[in-house]
């Protein structure tokens, strides 16, 4: 069956069963490879996207459940100001190691900043503990979120 999805501001059609997880529609059908597969059970956060601005695990989101909601993926992160802050902070503080979990980390962090512009440690724990990182970059992720919160957006270089 065909589903129309609103992804990064564009309408796209996916031909697949309705129970197909959004993750695989993005990766294998539409070619958005930035959203990663890590566990398939909503336990690791690698597949985090925004659905109507809310950080959501794409591996647990059937395409039939999305409707006309706005889906934003890591490929569209730089179009939002919190997203640009997060990407700039990730580069300035050298967060990444293997980098595989980082799209999901950045999506969770950007959603946090949108909701809570100046998050506390407790806010960061609550928003980020669903995102695993086996390289153990948590200290730098925490620092980068706080750094991003205080970046002067007017002087910020494009992260890319």
Residues 26, 73: contact at Cβ < 8 Å?
A: yes
Q: How far is the CB of 61 from another protein (least distance, A)?
A: 12
Can you tell me which of 140, 147, 148, 149 binds another protein, judged by CB under 8 A? 140
If the CB atoms of residues 17 and 52 are measured against another protein, the closer one turns out to be 17
Is residue 38 a contact point for another protein (CB under 8 A)?
A: yes
Can you tell me which of 21, 48, 71, 148 binds another protein, judged by CB under 8 A? 21
Stretch that binds another protein, among 5-13, 91-99, 110-118, 148-156 (CB under 8 A): 91-99
Count the helix, strand and coil residues of the chain and give each as a percent rounded to the nearest 5: 45, 15, 40
DSSP string computed for 34-73: TS--S-SSSSS-TTEEEETTEEEEGGG-BGGGTTTPEEE-
If the CB atoms of residues 96 and 149 are measured against another protein, the closer one turns out to be 96
């Amino acid at each position: 069956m065909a589903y129309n999805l609103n992804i990064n501001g564009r309408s796209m059609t996916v031909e697949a069963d309705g129970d197909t997880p959004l993750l695989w529609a993005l990766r294998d059908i539409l070619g958005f490879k930035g959203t990663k597969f890590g566990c398939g059970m909503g336990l690791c956060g690698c597949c985090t996207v925004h659905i109507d601005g809310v950080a959501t695990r794409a591996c647990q989101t059937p395409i039939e459940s999305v409707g006309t909601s706005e889906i934003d993926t890591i490929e569209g992160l730089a179009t939002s100001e919190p997203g640009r802050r997060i990407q700039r902070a990730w580069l300035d503080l050298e967060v990444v190691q293997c980098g595989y979990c980082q799209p999901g980390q950045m999506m969770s962090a950007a959603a946090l900043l949108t909701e809570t512009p100046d998050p506390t440690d407790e806010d960061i724990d609550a928003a980020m503990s669903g995102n695993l990182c086996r390289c153990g970059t948590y200290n730098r992720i925490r620092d980068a979120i706080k750094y991003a919160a205080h970046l002067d957006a007017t002087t910020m270089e494009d992260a890319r």
